[in-house]
Copies of this chain bind each other. A is one copy, B any other.
């Protein structure tokens, strides 16, 4: 019997970066570019803010006019009006001040703002019981971003703060990498469409397809679904070849039969060069995973068990989508910290993912392993996330502080 050669998970992630390239550029309105990555570095077309602004509600002054002021000896100002929001400010002479609101534009002759809490007002007379330093309570022109400096670097992904930053600069069209299109096929003679009402004995519904299609969408990809491939090689290869022309990333899922796995591997060798890169990953669940590079396009063969398929797609499918989308920075895997409720064993040399349910306790979260075979969906739906046991460990002990990766 042929032994499967397994690849280390980190090596697989490195292969993804080495073998595949980000997709080409397209221009999008800013409001449609959320989640996309910049094709090139964007420079600020102007200073942000565009003028000196107050960061508090108070009185704009020349700081030197407050020097020496304190609890018993107020500095005294004549208020000459108010800075109206969105308007240029009136000008000030010596010992004059002007009412200003948060975000208001500083008068040309002012360099600081006294907070309204530190003043006492009688008619047009404003007393300050504190001295302020030049620049106090002021954001200076260009302090957020100077004209012609880097606003955001190449490969940066646009999240809410980035959208806000570009909007503040008036950048409303951005050049980003195109959205990856993922093609999905299910395979296996036991599978029927999940919409099937009645099942013939021996058949199962194709539950992976809708779950994986949802995940691909969550990761920012568009999806084409090709249906269930029969266990006949010519059809398998023909349909795969046609789909690969239309998509950026092809994924096989669903069948756990020997035939469908063999056909997937053979198809990967036929579809393009260099073909199969990975024929097993040192990971549990999900070891029988295939990855190929077919003339520059990634092709992934997921294991048939639903839990394995979702786990592998969440790690490696996502990495491929991120790579095609041009994401430069490291993708952090957010986790929840928890106390492990019981011992969990694991095989050394293999990264293990164990389903856990999180329970609130006085000292934070407690992680309860949800047992059940990797083919079972119910324990997965019961689980809040996955406990990762690194390959170097042979298990984790009750009471240990662990990290839980959440499901999407």
Q: Which residues of A contact B (CB under 8 A)?
A: 1, 30-31, 34, 46, 48-51, 53, 55, 57, 84-89, 101-105, 116-117, 139, 143-145, 151-152, 156, 159-165, 167-170, 172, 188-191, 194-197, 199-215, 217-218, 231, 255-259, 304-307, 310, 314, 329-330, 332-337, 358, 360, 372-373, 375-378, 380-381, 383-385, 403, 406-408
| Interface-centre pick from A144, A211, A335 (highest chain B CB count, 10 A) | A211
Instruction: Work out how many copies of this chain go into the complex.
Output: 2
User: Is A105's CB under 8 angstroms from B202's CB?
Assistant: yes
B139 near A211 with CB under 8 A, answer no
Q: Which residues in B have their C-beta under 8 angstroms from that of A170?
A: 194-197, 199, 205
Q: How far is B194's CA from A67's CA once the two chains are assembled, in angstroms?
A: 40
Nearest B residue to A194, CB-CB: B167
Chain B contacts for A102, CB-based, 8 A: 256-258, 304-305
Most chain B CB atoms below 10 A, which of A156, A207, A208, A337: A207
Q: A31–B319 Cα gap in the complex (Å)?
A: 23
Report 14 cross-chain contacts, Cβ distance below 8 Å, ordered by A residue.
A1-B116, A30-B194, A55-B373, A85-B231, A85-B255, A85-B257, A101-B256, A159-B407, A160-B310, A162-B381, A165-B377, A168-B194, A330-B360, A332-B384
Smallest CB-CB separation from A258: which chain B residue?
B101
Those 4 A-B pairs whose CB atoms lie nearest each other, nearest first:
A334-B334, A164-B211, A86-B190, A168-B207
Decide yes or no: A376 and B202 within 8 Å by CB, A255-B85, A334-B336 being known contacts. no
Contact A208 B373 (CB under 8 A): no
**Nearest chain B residue, comparing its CB with the CB of A406:** B334
Q: A172 to B195, Cβ gap below 8 A?
A: yes
Residues of B near A334 (CB, < 8 A) are 334-336, 406
A200 CA / B85 CA spacing, docked (Å): 12
How far in angstroms is the closest Cβ of chain B from A310? 6
A85 contacts B189, CB within 8 Å? yes
Chain B: minimal CB distance from A151 (Å):
7
Q: In this complex, what residue of B is CB-closest to A151?
A: B378
Contact of A210 among B46, B53, B164 (CB under 8 A): B164
